Amino acid sequence: MKYFVLFGPPGAGKGTQAGAMVERYNLCHLSTGELLRAEIAAATPLGLQAKSLIEAGNLVPDSVVEGMIEAKFRDTKGVDGFLLDGFPRTIAQAQALDGMLKKSAQAVTGCVSIMIPDALIHERIAHRANIEGRADDAKPEVVENRIATYHAKTEPLIEYYRQVGKYFEIDGTGTIEKVRERIFATMDKL
């Protein structure tokens, strides 16, 4: 079983690329954003709690996200691995993921990181807000908070995975197809 972490700042193209990655490598796409949006749409207690946090540009508590991920690992059949999108976002979450996988003698295969400059983040998120109607992308102050949160809490994962030889950076600029070629060239080796 392979476990890929899909990494990058908001608007880097993770959601755009994930479908092709899942199809090519027979992976289960675990997007914490999609899992949480489904909870919000269903107006579950978890969804209502998550909605207020997300609307302010904050992260949902680790214990909630970790529980959802572990359940998906346990319950998903017929795949060759998992593509984790939106988890881990912090060192503590990466350590929790390592612990989850260690229970079944597994480990993260690789962290595929799609990187773009901050100026492009703003441009892509504004475009996404208009196209997809995502309220969490519409307010500039929320976008600024998401970028600041990414730099402060998530970027340290680069060094975490680099130290164990599992960090693979992809240039996320250019066409969707060109970025996809770069991703596949890297994943084919893992």
pTM of the model: 0.82
Residue 146 annotated in active site = yes
pLDDT tens figures, 113-124: 999 988 888 788
What contacts 24+ positions apart, CB below 8 Å, involve 149-152?
A: 149/57, 149/58, 149/59, 150/9, 150/10
Evaluate whether 17 touches 114 at the Cβ level (below 8 Å). yes
Residue 24 annotated in active site = no
| pLDDT of the residue at 24 | 98
In CATH, what number is assigned to the domain containing residue 79? 3.40.50.300
Domain ranges, residue 172: 2-187
Among 24, 74, 102, 134, the active-site one is 134
> Could you give the number of structural domains in the chain?
1
Among 51, 124, 146, 182, the active-site one is 146
Residue 134 annotated in active site = yes
pLDDT tens figures, 65-113: 888 788 789 889 999 999 999 889 889 999 999 999 999 999 999 999 9
Among 89, 124, 166, 180, the active-site one is 89
| pLDDT of the residue at 95 | 96
First to last CA, the chain: 12
Among 124, 128, 166, 180, the active-site one is 128
